[in-house]
């Protein structure tokens, strides 16, 4: 996912892209199923490592449908068992009514040795309402994955307080302004705020305040 410097999510997308590029190089292969694919924003990151990128989403998605290859839901994936080598699921689990069932389904469609790469938020404002149900701690994620039969390879907080607060503050400021002032005030202001957050982030070790967790889990 690529954003311009004044985009509202520039900071978190930059961090997310960096982490996904790392795990793609290390773990992605073969046929990839992108659960809750939206517009497949991470297609370019995974393209060098996979042979096929299959997008799954439901007909009522708030995103464009051009990139969808399979219509369905994360907790009822319309695919045969053991038909994918890699599953990607980014910022979707909070929107699923039955997250345990969704993780079981992703386990089912993976071949033995296959890897699930998933992100889920701890701190984020309500979004895509009314389909916004949960937030996750590392302990909740570990429980759900291990209960479904996965082995955790990596469970990484993607930020500390600085990035989480910076991103929340950007949204807060954006919501205060009348629409006609957004290009004049919000765009340059949020660019400056996020640049400061990005510069300070490497010094911040307060990962209990992460906005998002990244999980890499393997089906043995």
Over residues 161-181, the mean pLDDT reads 87
Domains and CATH numbers, the chain: 10-160+206-219 (3.40.50.150)
Q: What is the spatial distance between Cα 41 and Cα 110, in angstroms, rounded to a whole number?
A: 22
pLDDT band with cut points at 50, 70 and 90 for residue 60: confident
pLDDT tens-digit series, residues 33-52: 999 999 999 999 999 999 99
pLDDT tens-digit series, residues 96-128: 999 999 999 999 999 999 999 999 999 999 999
User: Which residues have a Cβ under 8 Å from the Cβ of 120 and sit 6 or more positions away?
Assistant: 91, 93, 94, 135, 136, 141, 212, 213, 215
pTM of the model: 0.93
Over residues 128-135, the mean pLDDT reads 95
Given a cut of 60, is residue 2 above it in pLDDT? Answer: no
**pLDDT value, residue 6:** 66
What are all long-range contacts of 129-136, with beta carbons under 8 Å and residues at least 24 apart?
Answer: 131/95, 132/94, 132/95, 133/94, 133/95, 133/96, 133/97, 134/93, 134/94, 134/96, 134/99, 135/94, 136/93, 136/94, 136/213
The better pLDDT of the pair 61, 127 is held by 127
**pLDDT value, residue 204:** 95
């Amino acid at each position: 996912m690529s954003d311009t410097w004044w985009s509202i999510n520039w900071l978190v997308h930059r961090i997310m892209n960096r982490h996904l590029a790392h795990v793609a190089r290390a773990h992605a292969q073969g046929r990839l199923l992108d659960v809750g694919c939206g517009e497949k924003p991470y297609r370019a990151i995974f393209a060098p490592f996979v042979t096929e990128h299959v997008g799954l989403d439901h007909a009522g998605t708030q995103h464009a449908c051009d990139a969808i290859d399979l219509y369905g839901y994360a907790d009822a994936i319309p695919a045969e068992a053991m038909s994918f080598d890699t599953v990607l699921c980014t910022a979707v689990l909070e929107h699923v009514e039955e997250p345990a069932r969704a993780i079981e389904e992703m386990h089912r469609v993976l071949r033995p040795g296959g890897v699930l790469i998933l992100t889920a938020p701890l701190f984020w404002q309500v979004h895509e309402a009314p389909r916004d149900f949960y937030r996750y701690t590392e302990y909740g994620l570990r429980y759900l994955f291990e209960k479904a039969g996965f082995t955790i390879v990596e469970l990484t907080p993607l930020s500390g307080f600085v990035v989480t607060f910076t991103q929340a503050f950007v949204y807060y400021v954006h919501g205060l302004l009348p629409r006609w002032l957004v290009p004049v005030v919000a765009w340059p202001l949020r660019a400056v705020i996020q640049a400061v957050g990005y510069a300070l982030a490497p010094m911040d070790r307060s990962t209990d305040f992460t906005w998002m967790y990244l999980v890499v889990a393997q089906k043995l």
